Amino acid sequence: MTMMTPPPLDQEDEEMLVPHQEFTEGPQPMEVISAEPATAPENQQVEDPPTFKYRWTIENFSRMNIKKLYSDTFFVGGYKWRVLIFPKGNNVDHLSIYLDVADSTTLPYGWSRFAQFSLAVVNQIHGKYTIRKDTQHQFNGRESDWGFTSFMSLSELYDPSRGYLVNDTCVIEAEVSVRKVVDYWSYDSKKETGYVGLKNQGATCYMNSLLQTLYHIPYFRKAVYHMPTTENDMPSGSIPLALQSLFYKLQYSDNSVATKELTKSFGWDTYDSFMQHDVQELNRVLCEKLEDKMKGTVVEGTIQHLFEGHHMNYIECINVDYKSTRKESFYDLQLDVKGCRDVYASFDKYVEVERLEGDNKYQAENHGLQDAKKGVLFIDFPPVLQLQLKRFEYDFMRDTMVKINDRYEFPLQLDLDRDNGRYLSPDADRRVRNLYTLHSVLVHSGGVHGGHYYAFIRPTLSDQWFKFDDERVTKEDAKRALEEQYGGEEELPQTNPGFNNTPFKFTKYSNAYMLVYIRESDKEKIMCNVDEKDIAEHLRVRLKKEQEEKEHKKKEKAEAHLYTIIKVARNEDLAEQMGREIFFDLVDHDKVRSFRIQKQLPFNHFKEEVAKELGIPVQFQRFWLWAKRQNHTYRPNRPLLPQEEAQSVGQLREVSNKAHNAELKLFLEVELGPDLRPLPPPLKTKEDILLFFKLYDPEKEAMRFVGRLFVKALGKPTEILPKLIEMAEFPANEEIELYEEIKFEPNVMCEHIDKRISFKSSQLEDGDIICYQKALTSASRDQFRYPDVPSFLEYVRNRQVVHFRSLEKPKEDDFSLELSKLFSYDDVVERVACRLGLDDPTKIRLTSHNCYSQQPKPQPIKYRGVDHLSDMLVHYNQLSQTSDILYYEILDIPLPELQGLKTLKVAFHHATKEEVAIHSIRLPKNSTVADVINDLKNKVELSRPDAELRLLEVFYHKIYKIFPPGEKIENINDQYWTLRAEEIPEEEKNLGPHDRLIHVYHFTRDPNQNQMASIVCLTCPIFSFR
């Protein structure tokens, strides 16, 4: 994924200019009108940026003991640059590599420069396997280096057989292009080009380039607008409506457009948006969905009409009169890049005739095996021709995907009638002129491991090209859109022209991977005019409402410095929230009534506003300020003074709010009489303390707010017991226990209150919370899980619902348990064993969850290896990030016993049969390889009773080691290496002094792979040759 310099952040979506004209309601039958001439700004010539390729050779690489290493300084665009690497990784198990501004510490304040660059670790054995990653960045004083923390795994880098470290030498390349800094804060795509971009959700640049291409096919856009949707549909649940909304915003917005509604309609979650998907697959799935939704509507068949072509597969016998044909449709064509110089060469290869003869004769019906010709010819081409260039291929020799960066040319005009219609079948309609003009070029910049996608498009098929690169749209010339996307190699200018230097060439990693052509004869119809009358009324109304809401939010944001938000909590809020949404403190201020009040307004005027809104006369209102205490609790602190209420709202906020945010939080005290009508607030003296009361029921395990009282500082709790019993609706003679809720961060503190001493002696003050409950006897306490307030609050503070998944099915929740974060290791496995109906909890083994990969961590939790459940859920010592997922497995022996053993997976290859059996060998850790072999002999079938076995270490089909029988097994790794067991061939036991062992590679020719020789097995027994 390319790291992009972010544009200024807008709101979640964008502001739009919505047409206000009135139109007939609902989508109308499609009417095709020729497009108006383009009104985009005039063409601007773009200078080529200065580019330089730097090669850095690092010797004795594996012996370096330094954390980071800088290259020599080199110059590009008049600036000093250097490469920074972390040979052992920047706190990760990957090579970390960055481009750094070499003189950043001496540059003046406010400096910045923009560069597009690629960093590569060269494969010195096979250059095509060089790992290269591209990105771009605006460097500045805060971000003077930029690159890839996890560039490539250290295990791959340090493996000499992979070719990245040869003779302990590593070669790193940096290709840097310095471009003029584009100020995202001032650059306006709509103003400069007439078009807007799409926001990148993380790794959705590939989708953005496809969507822009489809949007700029006006006939397709018109058809999308005419799809039936209703005002009750939600964009996040309807692909047609989401696409209509997206296209509408692209057409009328002034800012870049968000795609979240569309990806939600695909059923993607946030994680999917950070994963690059296949463009061709996305294109096909999207078109299939739209095609299905268009059935039975005025736009039925649009997808087929635009994109569907047909070809004929045929097999024709040479010596008898027999021919077999099959007609197939296509929406896009996959063209070979490798071995083809241009699009025409790919079409030549596509229709190339294959001879079926010899062992490959064709079984013709009623004629037996016959020599034949096999091929493909086109019956018709679609008006919009989508060509997928096969830039990514599977390398059978390497067993991995590789990117084909070969030069591949494509014309501005494509004539598929060339050579007297050599691509056409006899059934093709020769009256249709298959002359196409290039509409868009979709580009991939980078390698097979990651990269960036963008598109060059001619929206009106004029000479002006535009580059659609996520949020930014720029004008580009034809050379940049065509020739620079051919790929291949580029030659750098010689630095010393006077010398006979060999020109330095480098591979271009930005190249076209998809082309869209439009047939000249259909151009006027496809490039039709699309305006507001094509858009359903409900969609215009919906988006106009969205626009008005955004304008309102924008206005609020612009005027925010003139206003204060006052949040008013009342008894009703405390009663509603306590025990449901919160348990600690008194209220969640984000869920109480808020008022947006001008700062200059006198507070007394605000009280009149409250009277109107809440129906509480001004004379019955008394407001308290909240205060954050040193123990991190938040409580009402004191009532407002009369002189404070005479101040403005803004002055009062500044006095009360040390954090200087825009909010003022108040508690509204309203006294109610027996008839529940408000009364004037009672006089409060220094001796009066306002206390808040919560009631706990151990039987229901529930807590609720029951009210507040003023008490005298020198009074005692015994004096208010009758009132508390009345508030709880207990019998008059009920015994109750009182506790003070002191704090809950980082730990719960809740202490018993002695009812015989004064409130002052118990250090109670305004805003304190007293929790009370029925008094329990020793016998009755045993009936409840949490018999008293402290134990209940401790439970609430530490309870955790954990989702357990079987390690064999790591994507599926199996069951959930409510546990305490303070549970010990034994507590957790006992409850899991109980849930699974397992008698022995020690046979349960747990594995923690990796929050980043959404997979189990590589190593399971050791027996009693952690103290508490909270330690199992934390993400690699990052206390701020925890999970609620654990994986379990049921062992066949207790875990403590298993941890004393070493388990090895051994692949046994039979000497005379073509079969491989995987065996798990479990032995004490101090065992040797000989013990493994002896154990294995009891499990496998040998070719003869006296056969001897040996154990081999294999990696990527190559034998690296033959284990000596006496080697300890404790340090043998079967996670990354394959352990192979086999019988020792007799000829090896009797080697002569001149015999040599060599590795034998076994090849086979697979006709399905174009006769390419592919490695089937590199681990055949080692033979001796004399």
Q: Enumerate the H helices of 90-171 as residue ranges.
A: 154-157
Two tokens, residue 888: 């379990």
Q: What does the alpha-carbon distance between residue 418 and residue 425 come to, in Å, rounded to a whole number?
A: 13
Q: What does the alpha-carbon distance between residue 237 and residue 264 come to, in Å, rounded to a whole number?
A: 7
Provide the pairing of β-strand 799-806 with 885-890. Answer: parallel
The answer to whether 205 is a known catalytic residue is: yes
Q: What does the alpha-carbon distance between residue 844 and residue 894 come to, in Å, rounded to a whole number?
A: 8
Q: What does the alpha-carbon distance between residue 14 and residue 30 come to, in Å, rounded to a whole number?
A: 28
Residues 6+ apart with CB under 8 A from 755: 716, 717, 718, 721, 738
Two tokens, residue 785: 């899980």
Secondary structure string (H, E, C) spanning 109-157: CCCEEEEEEEEEECCCCCHHHCEEEEEEEEEECCCCEEEEEEEEEHHHH
Under a CB-based contact definition with an 8 Å cutoff, are residues 119 and 147 in contact? yes
What count of other Cβ atoms lies within 10 Å of the Cβ of residue 390? 15
Residue type at 395 in one-letter notation: D
Residues 6+ apart with CB under 8 A from 294: 223, 227, 300, 301, 302, 303
Q: What does the alpha-carbon distance between residue 609 and residue 604 come to, in Å, rounded to a whole number?
A: 9
E-assigned strands of 700-852?
702-712, 736-743, 749-752, 769-774, 799-806, 815-820, 844-850
Query: Which of the residues 170, 205, 340, 528 is marked catalytic?
Result: 205
Q: What is the phi/psi pair of residue 942, to 5°?
A: -95, 155
Residue with token string 């030069």: 407
Under a CB-based contact definition with an 8 Å cutoff, are residues 899 and 863 in contact? yes
Q: How far is CA 847 from the centre of its chain?
A: 23
Give Cα separations from 1 to 181, 275, 406 (angstroms). 22, 8, 22
The answer to whether 20 is a known catalytic residue is: no
Q: Which helix (H) or strand (E) holds 223?
A: helix 218-225
Two tokens, residue 29: 């039958």
Residue with token string 């040319």: 409
Ramachandran area for residue 681 (φ above 0: left; ψ -120 to 50: alpha; else beta): beta
Q: What does the alpha-carbon distance between residue 871 and residue 23 come to, in Å, rounded to a whole number?
A: 63
E-assigned strands of 331-426?
333-336, 354-356, 362-364, 368-370, 372-380, 384-390, 392-395, 400-403, 413-415
Q: What does the alpha-carbon distance between residue 1026 and residue 1011 come to, in Å, rounded to a whole number?
A: 32
> Helix 218-225 crosses helix 205-215 at what angle (to 10 degrees)?
90
Q: What does the alpha-carbon distance between residue 154 and residue 151 come to, in Å, rounded to a whole number?
A: 9
Residue type at 117 in one-letter notation: F
Provide the pairing of β-strand 354-356 with 309-317. Answer: unpaired
Under a CB-based contact definition with an 8 Å cutoff, are residues 132 and 152 in contact? no
Two tokens, residue 843: 């046979």
Query: Which of the residues 216, 444, 452, 849 is marked catalytic?
Result: 452
Residues 6+ apart with CB under 8 A from 160: 166
Q: What residues are labeled active site? A: 205, 452
